[in-house]
Amino acid sequence: MRILSIVGARPNFMKLAPLDRVLASHPDLEHVIVHTGQHYDRNMSDSFFDDLGIPEPHYNLEVGSGSHAWQTGAIMQAFEPVCKDVGPNVVLVFGDVNSTVATALVAAKLGIKVGHVEAGLRSRDWGMPEEINRVVTDRLSDLLLTPSPDADENLRAEGVPPERIHFVGNIMIDSLVYALPRAVEFNAAGNRDLSPGEYSVVTLHRPSNVDDPESLEDLMSALEELSCSSPVIFPVHPRTKTRLESIGWVGSDSADLRLLAPVGYLEMLSLVQSSGMVITDSGGLQEETSFLGVPCITVRPNTERPITCTEGTNQLVVPRGEAIVEAAGLAPGRRIEGGAKIDKWDGNAAERIVEVFRSAGL
């Protein structure tokens, strides 16, 4: 059995790593990795191969940045010859980025079976490019590998045959469980003179939060206000960095808002696990904070991961500074000692995915 896995953006690497480790223990399963190059900054992608023990990809398409249409088309053009060269039994795609939908389209048109890890998630917000990618990829996929029961419900409601749906659990948690001992040892908080539980971590990059200058100014002012009472650590996404430069944002001398370059997976996990609170618009951090029991404020009106709100530590907040400050004051009450206990978020999702491959007889 030859499995061709696609990665291209930061969240994909955390989902690929545990699966690659499991596949390596099965000599009759050949695993070929393609890196599309959708994220091309080393701190945004290549360092994850080191942190998570992922082998060098067999192919790197080096597509780089561009509009959604350009990037999707470029990935499709570059990926088609790879499919013909490798001849996989299944093309395995992860998450909801442009690399996901582009390579699923190519595989489906070539008559190759498609497996989608993290299938069935829905925000029901068609203003999010990721939602379009999720829905299209799921329609193309033969094996829908879901992280939570609500994802199964979404797919059934859309008319997907039950035999194509497989509840395997959250593979992001596999990577977290694997890396957590090293992340604790990394001691990112101590290295930055931070006291555990007495600082916040921020990530913001979605266009709805950072593209409008007034909204971005408002959010940054809220972060500065919070940082006057305890440090706020903000690894800045390249997109957000560009937007901050365009508005000429300069921080206040009285605040302790620390803007960092993007950090690797281990350092980020280390910072998050010992933080008092996370403020984000990322999907993966909603899951990681719930597993770790760390309060999370998600600056979005909706989420494709509602289980993190109903069973985890996540709270949705509209993108307004005053709402974030108010939610931050209530955040300590959302901490879950020992972490949230969510079904099949146990570090064994990759094993269950391989079992699905076996039972499908690919």
Residues annotated as catalytic are 205
Distance CA 233, CA 278 (A): 9
Bridging pattern class, strands 314-317 and 296-299: parallel
Distance CA 362, CA 349 (A): 19
Q: What's CA 172's distance to the chain center, in Å?
A: 8
Distance CA 95, CA 345 (A): 16
The long-range contacts involving 163-167, CB below 8 angstroms and separated by at least 24 positions, are: 165/119, 165/120, 166/352, 166/353, 166/356, 167/344
How many residues make up the chain in this entry? Answer: 362
Q: Which of 99, 87, 117 is nearest to 35 (CA)?
A: 99
C-alpha radius of gyration, the chain, whole number: 20
Distance CA 61, CA 132 (A): 23
